[in-house]
Amino acid sequence: MNLLRAVNASLLKLAGWGTIFFMGIIAVVIPYEVFGRYVIKSMSVWSGEVSTFSLAWATMLGGAVGLRRGYQVAMTAVVDAVPPGLGRLLRGAGILFMLCFLAAMTWYGAVQTLVNFDQTSPAMGIPMGYPYACLPVGFFVMFMLTLEQALLFFGTKPPKETEA
């Protein structure tokens, strides 16, 4: 568990810096496009691809960091409304499903990434595997964070209900 925690802390740090990096690219490239059009009178062919691919990366990495920081909205009305025992059961089932879903997305995302290394982007001509790689990477970080959450959830006893 300690090892998993340490690995996840490093993954979160990397994902955080990755989010900052790709957000920085978006914040520079889009205004540059306007600058290029009106000031230096030259249109760049790469700006659309660089910014949208950066958006995909910033979304997947930022989504992973946001998962840990509670940014991902959920509807907890049902699990909060039912008796605590049933609520814990439902939450546990939710965490297990998330693990399965994120594992599947990591796997199929990796398959899709490998397939797309054979294709090139229309404007820049780079292998499409590079932008697609944000999916397995982002889903993998989310999987690791959810695994830690699952171990914590299933490893601790539920708080005893206070007797009336």
Partner 1 sequence: MIAVFLAAFVVLLSLGTPIAVGLGGSAMIYLLFNPDIELTILPQTIFGGMTSFPLLAIPLFMLAGNLMNEGGLTEDLVRFARLVIGHIRGGLGHATVIACAIFAAISGSAVATAVAIGMIMIPAMKREGFDEDLGAAITATAACMGPIIPPSIPFILYGVIANVSIGALFLGGVIPGLILGFGLMVYTGHEARRRRYRVHRKASYREMLAGGWKALPALFMPVIIMGGILGGAFTPTEAAGVTCVYAALIGVFVYRRLKLKSIPRVLLASGLESAMIMLLLGLSEPFAWIVAADRIPQLMIDAISGLSTSPWVILLLVNIILLVIGIPIETAPAIVITAPILAPMAAQLGIDPIHMGIVVCFNLVLGLITPPVGGVLFAVCGVSGLSLEKLSAAVWKPFWIALAVLLLITYIPRLSTFLPGLFMPGIR
Chain residues that interact with partner 1, rule: CB under 8 A:
16, 19-20, 22-24, 26-27, 30-31, 33-34, 38, 48, 51-53, 55-56, 58-63, 65-67, 69, 71-79, 90-91, 93-94, 97-98, 101-102, 104-105, 108-109, 111-112, 115, 131-132, 134-135
Question: Cβ 89 to partner 1, closest distance in Å?
Answer: 10
Question: Cβ 99 to partner 1, closest distance in Å?
Answer: 10
Whose Cβ is closer to partner 1: residue 7's or residue 123's? 123
The structure tokens listed for 33 are 């496009």
Contacts of 113 (CB under 8 A, 6+ apart): 129, 132, 133, 135, 136
Is 153:98 a contact under the CB 8 Å cutoff? no
Question: Cβ 8 to partner 1, closest distance in Å?
Answer: 17
Cβ atoms < 10 Å from Cβ of 95: 17
Whose Cβ is closer to partner 1: residue 4's or residue 32's? 32
Question: Could you give the CA distance from residue 61 to residue 20 in angstroms, rounded to a whole number?
Answer: 10
Is 8:148 a contact under the CB 8 Å cutoff? yes
Question: Cβ 163 to partner 1, closest distance in Å?
Answer: 27
